Structure 1
Amino acid sequence: MDLDRASLDLMIRLLELEQDASSAKLLNEKDMNKIKEKIRRLCETVHNKHLDLENITTGHLAMETLLSLTSKRAGDWFKEELRLLGGLDHIVDKVKECVDHLSSDGDEEKLVASLWGAERCLRVLESVTVHNPENQSYLIAYKDSQLIISSAKALQHCEELIQQYNRAENSICIADSKPLPHQNVTNHVGKAVEDCMRAIIGVLLNLTNDNEWGSTKTGEQDGLIGTAMNCVLQVPKYLPQEQRFDIRVLLFLERERAAQLAESKTDELIKDAPTTQHDKSGEWQETSGEIQWVSTEKTDGTEEKHKKEEEDEELDLNKALQHAGKHMEDCIVASYTALLLGCLCQESPINVTTVREYLPEGDFSIMTEMLKKFLSFMNLTCAVGTTGQKSISRVIEYLEHC
Structure 2
Amino acid sequence: MKTWTRPTVPRLPGFGPIPRIFDSATRRLVETSTEDVASIYVCGITPYDATHLGHAATYLAYDTLIRLWLDAGLSVDYVQNSTDVDDPLLERAARDGVDWRDLAAAQTELFRGDMEQLRIIPPDHYVAVTEVIGEVADAVKILEDAGLAYAVDSPDAAPDLYFDSSFTAPAWHLGAESNLDRATMLELSAERGGDPQRSGKRDPLDPLLWRSERSDDPAWDSVLGRGRPGWHVECSVIAMKYLRSPITVNGGGSDLIFPHHEFSAGHATALNGQALAGIYSHAGMVAYHGEKMSKSLGNLVLVSRLAAADIDPRVIRLALLSEHYRSDWEWTDAHLDIARKRLERWTTWAATMADETDAFLAELRLVLSDDLDSPAALTAIDSHIAAGGSASVVLVDAIDALLGVQLL
Q: What range describes the TM-score normalised by the shorter chain of this pair?
A: under 0.3
**TM-score, normalised via structure 1 length:** 0.23
Normalising to structure 2: TM-score of the pair? 0.22
Higher normalized contact order (CA 8 Å, seq sep 6+, divided by chain length): 2
